[in-house]
Amino acid sequence: MSEFRTLGEFIVEKQSDFPHASGELSSLLASIRLAAKIVNREINKAGLVDITGSVGAENIQGEEQQKLDLYANDKFKAALEARDQVCGVASEEEDEAVAFNKELNKNAKYVLLMDPLDGSSNIDVNVSVGTIFSIYRRVSPVGTPPTQEDFLQPGDKQVAAGYVIYGSSTMLVYTTGNGVHGFTYDPSIGSFCLSHEKLMTPETGSIYSINEGNYIRFPLGVKKYIKYCQESVPEENRPYTSRYIGSLVADFHRNLLKGGIYLYPSTESHPTGKLRLLYECNPMAFLIEQAGGLASDGKNRIMEIKPTELHQRVPFFVGSKAMVEKVEQFIEQNPNE
280 labelled as ligand-binding? yes
Q: Are the C-beta atoms of 280 and 248 separated by less than 8 Å?
A: yes
92 labelled as ligand-binding? yes
Peptide bond into 239 cis (omega under 30): yes
120 labelled as ligand-binding? yes
Neighbours of 50 (CB within 10 A): 7
Helix (H) or strand (E) holding 227: helix 220-230
251 labelled as ligand-binding? no
CA–CA separation, 288 and 126 (whole Å): 26
State the sign of the Cα–Cα–Cα–Cα dihedral 234, 323, 249, 297.
Answer: negative
CA–CA separation, 145 and 201 (whole Å): 39
CA–CA separation, 99 and 19 (whole Å): 26
337 labelled as ligand-binding? no
Neighbours of 305 (CB within 10 A): 19
126 labelled as ligand-binding? no
118 labelled as ligand-binding? yes
121 labelled as ligand-binding? yes
220 labelled as ligand-binding? no
225 labelled as ligand-binding? no
208 labelled as ligand-binding? no
274 labelled as ligand-binding? yes
At residue 171, φ and ψ (nearest 5 deg) are -125, 145
Q: Which residues are annotated as a binding site for Mg(2+)?
A: 92, 115, 117-118, 280
Q: Which residues are annotated as a binding site for substrate?
A: 118-121, 211, 244, 262-264, 274
Q: Which residues are annotated as a binding site?
A: 92, 115, 117-121, 211, 244, 262-264, 274, 280
